[in-house]
Structure 1
Amino acid sequence: MTKVSGTGVYDFKRHRVAEYPVEFTDKPEAKPGAGQSLPSSITLSEIQRDKLTRIAEANWIKSGDSKPKNPFDPQLVKEIYETELTVKPEGKSQRKTVPLQRVMVLEVSQYLENYLWPNFEAETASYEHVMSMILMVNEKFRENVAAWSCFHDQKDVFRGFLERVLRLKEGRDLTIAEKTNYLVFMINAFQSLEDEIVRETVLTLASLRSWHSLSYGRFQMELCLNPDLIKKWKRMIKKESDDAHKQGVHLDPLSSVEVNFLRNLIEEFLEVLDHKVFYQMHSVNEDDELDAASTFKQVNDASVLYCERFMEFLIDLLSQLPTRR
């Protein structure tokens, strides 16, 4: 916030949106230029002239009863994600961000409702397809419009989508911007517990099963502090064992996504906090040799933003009755 000189009145700036870690200037009516952020609005003429609008008209925008000219192309989804929705590192600071206007154009063209969701298959959808859906859901929340309504017609498929989201990081190293977008999606999901199709999946991530991932000492301490949970824990273990026996599989709770979800997120946060928030910078002397005395630390803004969103995620878990228990 910025204090208006002599008046004692404060001008509150809107908090930056996590998906698009842009900087806001204190100068009023600042016009975007080199190195400045794009405005968070877009005109109709800009939308009509945009190349994404032409792509949308050919592939997913419906006019009257006529269908788009081209069939679904998974490669187009990958291309749009890589060229329009991916944060490209700009040195170690990663200052180049996902342009907000590109996401806005895709949202206006109903990219999620008309292209990504109707053609989503949990078994075959690409990583870029899932991440694009995550970004478009986040954008709906940013614009404060109904985010989950388009999913209600296929609840089973939506459950498959959420399961793909939970397993999205397996075998893949996400960029810090993608990790932040992922966190924002989980924040939005846990803030949507009133929606049945969201609630039945995300609540399992903060259930008693997550205690399987506790160390033995911490687990024993928690049961001693909460004796009423001992019977509930035993019932849960028996049910898990019976289900595994019926399916003819070996019971291994630690292999479950639900058990490891929170633990993995916490470990990821600690890794970013310890090794990504600050990085070393060196100045070079006249002989082009590193001068140890001139080494200093530089803040990685993208990593700081990730840490902020992780704290917001934890606060949400601890402030809602279904998850804080």
Structure 2
Amino acid sequence: YPVKVAKFAHVSSLSMHFAANERPEDDEDISTILHWIGIKGVGTKRSAVASVYESQANVKDHEVKDDALAFIVQWFGVPSKMNPPGQQPPPPSSTRQTSAAKRKGAQRSGNSGKGRGSSGKSKGGQQSSVQKQGRATAALTTKDLEKDPFAKFAEKWAKGTPKKVDAAFIEDVATKLKEVEYDTKKMSILEYSGYLEKYLWPLFDSDKATDSHVFSVILMMNEKFRTCTFQPWDSLTTSTDDSQKIDAFFQRVFKLSDLEVREKAMWIQFLDNAFLSLEVDAVCQSCLRLVGLPCWMALSDSYREFALREAQTRVQKRFNSMKKKYSDAEPGSRKYIEIHFVPDLIDNFFDWMEGLTELTKAGIT
């Protein structure tokens, strides 16, 4: 999808997330939410709809346009007849859903564990399919933010980013997330409250950060990807120096160990998200090093010699030159990680599968 279509997909996701239970009550709320989805300089209901109409001019998929518009118009409670001057788009349909919207609804419904019917009803105060779908998927509301104890953590950065990091506070948050088995609703509350942008990342120091600090950044980034946040890596690239900071962060990520099965899965999910984001320069520079020529040094000598014989001469020369530079790689060093990270990851996977097979044979499932 082009960038504009991706933005509308996020509009649909957010509006389905909030529409049924909580609508913005004033222009300030609307402006804040629009800022979340990347539409800036808009502060009223009418200008919000006008901005959506104006932005979608170059989007070719009319079905995507109409549904995104329908969701946002219904979300803000704006009558369909309030069209911007000079434009007469079709009125939003309250009963039609695209397959993408249905899939999104099914996914969120599964997460909340409260599936409801999605059939639409007629006008006159009755609920539409979007409203019903919204209830099934609205895992986070204003009431949740007021009552949930995880929302109180935001008091730590409510007045701005503190000058010093509180490692005990991060450990406490991480422990409570573990106690609730990393409930996505709890992580959503932390992510929406700015835990990453206002606390974790500004205070991150790769030399001093605890493993809980590193893993908390992973959790918040995974949450951004899960909720289809537009340009999630922008949260980590707020200045020109962040490319070095991101690289140092990835080095800590690669060294994380002693993770439980659930945590290891989240760690793998983060790596997956990273390798799917190679268009981001800072991410690309950190991740591609793991799959370069150095990892060939982890191959057996016989297979490596066979592979090099089949390769072009320039590849052999580059490998021989690289081998001299990496011959002094010590465990835990950057060079060692570039050689062994991916091979060790594969070995660990097969070890885990072998252990699972043994448990199955023993009748333990």
TM interval, shorter chain, is: 0.5 to 0.7
Do structure 1's residue 61 and structure 2's residue 149 form an aligned pair? no
TM score, norm. by length of structure 2:
0.58
Correspondence for 2:305 among 193, 200, 220? 220
The alpha-carbon deviation at position 214 of structure 1 amounts to 0.5
Aligned to 2:281: 196
After superposition, where does 1:163-242 map in structure 2 within 5 Å?
163-169=251-257, 173-226=258-311, 228=312, 230-239=313-322, 241=324
Residue 231 to residue 190, structure 1, CA distance change in 2 (3 Å): same
Do structure 1's residue 270 and structure 2's residue 363 form an aligned pair? no
Maintained 8 Å contact 1:213/1:260: yes
Do structure 1's residue 43 and structure 2's residue 126 form an aligned pair? no
The alpha-carbon deviation at position 98 of structure 1 amounts to 1.6
Runs of at least 5 residues in structure 2 that lack an aligned partner in the other structure: 1-98, 118-135
Aligned to 2:174: 81
The alpha-carbon deviation at position 195 of structure 1 amounts to 0.5
TM score, norm. by length of structure 1:
0.65
Secondary structure of 1:296 counterpart: coil
Maintained 8 Å contact 1:253/1:259: no
Alpha-carbon distance in structure 2 between the residues aligned to 1:14 and 1:79: 32
The aligned amino acid for 2:302 is G
Alpha-carbon distance in structure 2 between the residues aligned to 1:174 and 1:79: 17
| Percent identical residues | 26
Maintained 8 Å contact 1:212/1:253: no
The alpha-carbon deviation at position 48 of structure 1 amounts to 1.9
Residue 237 to residue 151, structure 1, CA distance change in 2 (3 Å): farther
Maintained 8 Å contact 1:240/1:251: no
Correspondence for 1:140 among 215, 221, 224? 224
Maintained 8 Å contact 1:205/1:258: yes
The alpha-carbon deviation at position 55 of structure 1 amounts to 2.0
* Structure having the larger proportion of residues in strand: 1
Residue 216 to residue 24, structure 1, CA distance change in 2 (3 Å): farther
Residue 25 to residue 143, structure 1, CA distance change in 2 (3 Å): closer
Alpha-carbon distance in structure 2 between the residues aligned to 1:217 and 1:68: 55
* Structure having the larger proportion of residues in helix: 2
Do structure 1's residue 251 and structure 2's residue 349 form an aligned pair? no
The alpha-carbon deviation at position 265 of structure 1 amounts to 0.7
